[in-house]
Chains A and B, each alone.
Chain A
Amino acid sequence: MLETEVRATIELAAEHGLSAEEYARVLKILGREPNLTELGVFSVMWSEHCSYKSSRAHLRRLPTRAPQVVQGPGENAGVVDIGDGLVATFKLESHNHPSYVEPFQGAATGVGGILRDIFTMGARPIAVLDSLRFGPIAAEPGTDAATAARNRRLVDGVVRGIAFYGNCFGVPTVGGEVGFEACYSGNPLVNVLALGIAKKEDLFFARASGEGNPVLYVGAKTGRDGIHGASLLASAEFNEASEEKRPNVQVGDPFLEKLLLEACLEAMQTGAIVAIQDMGAAGLTSSSCEMASRGGVGIEMNLDLVPQRETGMSAYDMLLSESQERMLLVAARGREQEVLAVFAKWGLDAVEIGRVTGDGVLRVRHRGAVVAEIPAQALADEAPVYQRPIAAPAPARASEARVNVPLAAAGADLTPNFLRVLASPAIASKRWIFEQYDYMVRTNTLEGPGAGDAAVLRVKPTRRGLALAVDGNGRWARLDPRIGARAAVAEAARNVACSGARPWAATNCLNFGNPEKPEVMWQFSEAIDGIAEACLELEIPITGGNVSFYNDTLGKSIDPTPVLGVLGVLEDAAHALGMAFRAEGDAVLLLDGLGENAATADGDADCFASSEYAKTIHGIAGGLPPAVDLAAEKRLIRLLEAAARERAIASAHDVSDGGLAIALAECCTASEDFSVEARIDAAEPAEHACFGERGARAVVSCDAGRVARLRALASQYGVRAEEIGRVGRGAFRLTRGDTSVVNAAMGSVRKAWGGALKQLMETESSGA
């Protein structure tokens, strides 16, 4: 029986992930029962991953407007004006579920997908960053050896997958972050950010138009890989049967994508392309109905003409396939040969498979029959929008919320603990990871991984620079989603400012658990509000992003993890700053956006319980995150931009994970052979001063003779600049009053920080 003849039922709809109400809606739209193919089409387009049905009601609260925004959320990627007639297009996207099931291909195709979103806009991708989260890679309370080994395999697979795709495609992977927390053991997070540049007039949009215009399929052949990747893999929890989801993971070929990139950019220059969209989640289905819907037109396609790499594929297979490296485009009638010739030159399939119609319907033919006939707009835009129930967790009683972290006796030597924090996977050098990425290809990388708080790229042939940072927050967002989300925005913006750039625009990836749980929706809603507050205060518009729900395994959700990618602009790339100390004898200053009223390093004892120190040394992850003072963050950001422009500082590094002691250590390890002797605040316990993580602070260095000038500049911006030490070449020393609190030879510091990840990933057997 042809699938066109299979009768749909509510049960069949449920197997496809559609609820009874959603199925009723389908019946209403069609005015009849759908056949199996049409059911499949609705199930992917209305899956959480594609339709954002649980998140749209909340995403509307994000600030998306600003003078520099050329294109906000709604297209394949956001676009901002960066001056000189150029635009930057960038976006963050997740590929979490596939990366658990098949880490190498899951991560690889995650990179491939976001790259296509960039070049489908007409922009050449020039950089990639990744934000990754895994479970602990060494056994610890709560994580046994077998789980840690599996997590190591995931880290290895994901990193190799990103390297495989990015390196071969030829885009530098220039930065990112990696976090380790038990909640991600069953649900790793792989969020990839890509950035592209184009001349403003060369931008392309995905709006089909022109009745009778040919619809062209270009790129790789279609196979059966990835079917239901969107609906059943990305839009559902994991359970014991998750291994069976392997066929739902897509398979990537970066060489094909490189050819596709060159061919698309070249074809776009002909002027014969009207609209273009990449085939991502739900491949042929989403690209056709979305382009049609945006243009208010219809598209008719004949699947017999689709290049196929397997025999006997049904319409269902072809419409739902998520085979990679394919694009769908609309050409100007009469000029299709110009476009086809370009793809032939690059050795890619390019076939006319349909045309634009005026009736607003997505009409699909196969083997002589119409196998699907669905109003495009209803399919693309009329998925239900849910106001899912929200319920805050019961507020903890005051006595439970207060978590005390045991402190050492006054005057105790904190050196051993300092070295332990440096060697924890969350803090330690990520060189083992980033050396697997080509971070220099295209010769635009001015500051690559590890050099500064943000990656910095030059924009040939201008003098401009672009800075990019990606930061997320799981632990803090679990303790307080609103503050955690604010902190993620603040940190990413602060990182961009530490490279000397002005934060210009942002993209987000919101990784949460099952939205059908009221507590998860509460976390989501709070996080949206936190992001909105921070973006408004810091004047950073959100230009687009991604939501990944259903990051649960066996009913347990991950920590709510909002991840922010912030793009910054440097008018002169020569002003870019790194974190490394630059000269012996330079003064080291602590900048504090709270100004002369600067409180202690962590606010109070409750906040210290949420720090890396508390977790690494005492296994405590509780209390509250430090309050985020957005006005203070803004003052610091503006000062850093000004200081970079006026060349008033030699280096800058923000204080974040691990606190001041770790920030100072990182300024040393990033340099060739410098160390530092610095004083820490005596008004609070030594651990708080050294390892407290309150924001709005940065460590900077400058020539000793220019301290007064820097302090005057800081004062203009309402930022306190306190000289705390000197750059030297001896031991790394932190003193509190007369007491030495940390005293370590730089050799030990480098060994602890530099060797930890490699040791864990390579010496312990990762093959189990």
Chain B
Amino acid sequence: MQFGVVVFPGSNCDHDAWYALGTVLGQNARFLWHQSEDLEGCDAVILPGGFSYGDYLRTGAIARFSPVMGAIERFARRGGVVLGICNGFQILCEAGLLPGVLMRNGGLRFICRQVNVRVENVETPFTAAIELGQVLRMPIAHAEGNYYCDAEMLVELERNAQIVFRYATPEGRITAEANPNGSLSNIAGICNRGRNVLGLMPHPERAAESVLGSADGAVLLRSMIASLARAGAVTA
């Protein structure tokens, strides 16, 4: 199995994602340069965190026009597994692969801290190996992580069970205090209707080893790996 990590000009967490999948979890991981439309037969594509194009104009606004995004769009339509982390989530929303937008944090400042998220949907490749309601501890590091969509869209997200992660207390309660950035309905991550595209603000690649403070991120990544192995994945 091959995992592709896209590199845009300004991506910073590409190496971290590559290291988590390749070194920590022993998978075949490679970098995909944004100019290329060739996804090189990858079974899953990761859009990593960082500041693609310096967040010029709006975060993710320019990256979504990179040549690689056309290929990713087609891959996703065929059911290919796509994981967008932080800036990756922002890019997926700008590209229309996920609904809604990520706005400036409610406190208007960048926040770097460990947070807890509750798993709200285990019927995605990313969460199939996790218990419903389980709490994962992963870090956030963003200034634009405040998820928003209009009321109609929120109803749809809930009806289709597209909300995958919500900010929660360590005990799993969804409270305002546990919400670091003012996200609508404490939303930390969502998927598309087909459940093959996931976007989340927390960084699982930064929580793949206990020596870094938490290994809960590895739970998510391993679930993705296992689902791909089991299902005979769509390749790019």
Structural contact, A441 and B212, CB atoms closer than 8 A: no
Structural contact, B55 and A168, CB atoms closer than 8 A: yes
Find B10's partner among A259, A435, A436, A458 (CB 8 Å cutoff).
A259
Instruction: Identify the stretch in A250-258, A635-643, A644-652 within 8 Å (CB) of chain B at 4 or more residues.
Output: A250-258
Q: Is B110 close to A, CB under 8 A?
A: yes
Q: Is B54 close to A, CB under 8 A?
A: yes
Complex Cα distance, B141 from A254, in Å, reads 17
Find B211's partner among A160, A442, A446 (CB 8 Å cutoff).
A446
Which residue of chain B is the closest to A445 with respect to CB atoms?
A: B212
Which residue of chain A is the closest to B111 with respect to CB atoms?
A: A435
Given A436-B109, A440-B206, does the pair A170, B51 have CB atoms closer than 8 Å? yes
Q: Is B13 close to A, CB under 8 A?
A: yes
Q: Is B123 close to A, CB under 8 A?
A: no
Q: How far, in Å, is B154 (CB) from chain A's closest CB? A: 28
Residue numbers in B under 8 Å from A347 (CB-CB): 9
Complex Cα distance, B141 from A442, in Å, reads 12
Instruction: Identify the stretch in B15-23, B92-100, B218-226 within 8 Å (CB) of chain A at 4 or more residues.
Output: B15-23
Structural contact, A440 and B19, CB atoms closer than 8 A: no
Residue numbers in B under 8 Å from A461 (CB-CB): 23
Count of B residues near A, CB < 8 Å? 31
Residue numbers in A under 8 Å from B54 (CB-CB): 168, 253-256, 258
Within 8 A of A (CB), among B27-43: none
Q: How far, in Å, is B55 (CB) from chain A's closest CB? A: 7
Complex Cα distance, B55 from A458, in Å, reads 29
Q: Is A460 close to B, CB under 8 A?
A: yes
Residue numbers in A under 8 Å from B109 (CB-CB): 160, 435-436
Structural contact, B10 and A441, CB atoms closer than 8 A: no
Find B212's partner among A167, A169, A437, A446 (CB 8 Å cutoff).
A446
Most chain B CB within 10 A, of A170, A438, A461, is at A438
Residue numbers in B under 8 Å from A437 (CB-CB): 110, 112
Q: Is A522 close to B, CB under 8 A?
A: no
Structural contact, B56 and A439, CB atoms closer than 8 A: no
Structural contact, B141 and A255, CB atoms closer than 8 A: no
Complex Cα distance, B212 from A573, in Å, reads 12
Which residue of chain B is the closest to A168 with respect to CB atoms?
A: B51
Structural contact, B16 and A163, CB atoms closer than 8 A: no
Complex Cα distance, B203 from A259, in Å, reads 23
Complex Cα distance, B63 from A378, in Å, reads 48
Q: Is A443 close to B, CB under 8 A?
A: yes
Complex Cα distance, B54 from A258, in Å, reads 9
Within 8 A of B (CB), among A24-48: none
Find A258's partner among B15, B51, B112, B212 (CB 8 Å cutoff).
B51
Complex Cα distance, B111 from A160, in Å, reads 12
Find A167's partner among B16, B51, B113 (CB 8 Å cutoff).
B51
Q: How far, in Å, is A168 (CB) from chain B's closest CB? A: 4
Which residue of chain B is the closest to A159 with respect to CB atoms?
A: B109
Majority DSSP secondary structure for residues of B touching A? mixed
Structural contact, A167 and B203, CB atoms closer than 8 A: no
Q: Is B120 close to A, CB under 8 A?
A: no
Given A170-B50, A443-B20, does the pair A438, B205 have CB atoms closer than 8 Å? no
Q: Is B53 close to A, CB under 8 A?
A: yes
Q: Is A346 close to B, CB under 8 A?
A: yes
Q: Mark A436-457, 1 if CB is under 8 A from B, else 0.
A: 1111111101100000000000
Complex Cα distance, B110 from A163, in Å, reads 8
Complex Cα distance, B18 from A442, in Å, reads 11
Q: Is B139 close to A, CB under 8 A?
A: yes
Complex Cα distance, B13 from A334, in Å, reads 36
Q: How far, in Å, is A129 (CB) from chain B's closest CB? A: 15
Given A255-B51, A255-B56, A446-B211, does the pair A441, B9 have CB atoms closer than 8 Å? no
Find B15's partner among A167, A438, A442, A573 (CB 8 Å cutoff).
A442
Structural contact, A438 and B16, CB atoms closer than 8 A: no
Within 8 A of A (CB), among B103-146: 109-113, 139, 141, 143
Given A170-B50, A254-B54, A460-B19, does the pair A441, B113 have CB atoms closer than 8 Å? no
Q: How far, in Å, is B14 (CB) from chain A's closest CB? A: 9
Q: How far, in Å, is B87 (CB) from chain A's closest CB? A: 11
Find A441's partner among B23, B56, B141, B208 (CB 8 Å cutoff).
B141
Residues of B within 8 A of A (CB): 9-10, 12-13, 15-16, 19-20, 23, 49-51, 53-56, 109-113, 139, 141, 143, 203, 205-206, 208-209, 211-212
Nearest 8 Cβ contacts at the A-B interface: A255-B54, A170-B12, A168-B51, A438-B141, A443-B16, A436-B110, A438-B112, A440-B206
A-B contact pairs, 20 of them (CB 8 A): A160-B109, A170-B13, A170-B50, A253-B54, A255-B51, A255-B54, A258-B10, A258-B51, A259-B9, A259-B10, A437-B110, A437-B112, A440-B141, A441-B13, A441-B141, A443-B19, A443-B20, A443-B205, A445-B212, A574-B211
Additional A-B contact list (16), CB under 8 Å, known A255-B55, A439-B112: A160-B109, A168-B54, A254-B54, A255-B10, A255-B53, A258-B9, A259-B10, A347-B9, A435-B112, A436-B112, A438-B110, A440-B112, A440-B141, A440-B206, A443-B19, A458-B211
